[in-house]
Amino acid sequence: MARCFKTLAAGVVFVVLLVQAPVLWATDADPLQDFCVADLDGEVTVNGYPCKPAASVGDEFLFSSRLTKAGDVTANPNGSNVTELDVAEWPGVNTLGVSMNRVDFAVGGTNPPHIHPRATEVGMVLRGELLLGIIGSLDSGNRYYSKVVRAGETFVIPRGLMHFQYNVGKEEATMVVSFNSQNPGIVFVPLTLFGSNPPIPTPVLAKALRVDAGVVELLKSKFTGGY
């Protein structure tokens, strides 16, 4: 009887592992060739982009100068500017499971609370002082983890956790980050709640946020048009 129970328990564990496998091993797929420079105009839909013919690419797909320049931090209300360097801007990273961003911050500027659904992020502050906040899931009791990160210091943001940066220094700040995905994706929390297209019905947000409809309408008015 005990033996039968053990076999059954082992079976259950095996099935659970099998069911979870896609979750446990979910990162960008492994490449099946040295490189696959993205054909951004390709019409075939795959998990990524189709490859340009290897003979048609030179050396330049391995390099990018895009992050040498600071973004203009005065051009939007956040006081920050994200220069993206994912597969859309750097076709050479297609299928390689990596990408980067540079983010510049005005004094008091913020990269608003957001989530990368497909990647863990590691980064380094190049100049200035950034308050970095990460909020754990319900598992952690919604714990708020934070630190003022300074030039040369590094950080890691676990995949899927909400986080933000805020320039608490007296000068502009800059950070460079990398992702374990060629296309990490970004879900801005304020925009997702108040600037979705079409909008989330106001009664839903009023109930969920425990405020009057007028407060929700005010917040929605701040995010029409994406900023």
Ligand X SMILES: *[C@@H]1O[C@H](CO)[C@@H](O)[C@H](O)[C@H]1NC(C)=O
- Binding site for oxalate, by residue number, is 101, 111, 116, 121
Q: For residue 7, give every residue at least 6 positions away whose Cβ sits within 8 Å of its Cβ, in sequence order, or none.
A: none
Question: At closest approach, how far in Å is the CB of 137 from ligand X?
Answer: 21
Considering beta carbons, is residue 80 or 95 the nearer one to ligand X? 80
Considering beta carbons, is residue 51 or 173 the nearer one to ligand X? 173
Q: Work out which of 37, 49, 79, 80 binds ligand X, going by CB under 6 A.
A: 80
Question: At closest approach, how far in Å is the CB of 71 from ligand X?
Answer: 4
How far apart (Å, rounded) are the C-alpha atoms in residues 175 and 188?
18
How far apart (Å, rounded) are the C-alpha atoms in residues 111 and 186?
11
CB 128 within 8 Å of CB 172 = yes
* Tokens of residue 33, six digits: 């060739």
User: Which residue's structure tokens are 């998990």?
Assistant: 47
CB 94 within 8 Å of CB 36 = yes
Considering beta carbons, is residue 14 or 227 the nearer one to ligand X? 227
Residue 98 touches ligand X, criterion: CB under 6 A:
no
Residues 112-131 binding ligand X (CB under 6 A) are: 112
Considering beta carbons, is residue 57 or 176 the nearer one to ligand X? 176
CB 112 within 8 Å of CB 164 = yes
Residues of the shown chain interacting with ligand X in the complex, contacts defined by CB under 6 A: 71-72, 75-76, 78, 80-82, 112, 188, 190-191, 226-227
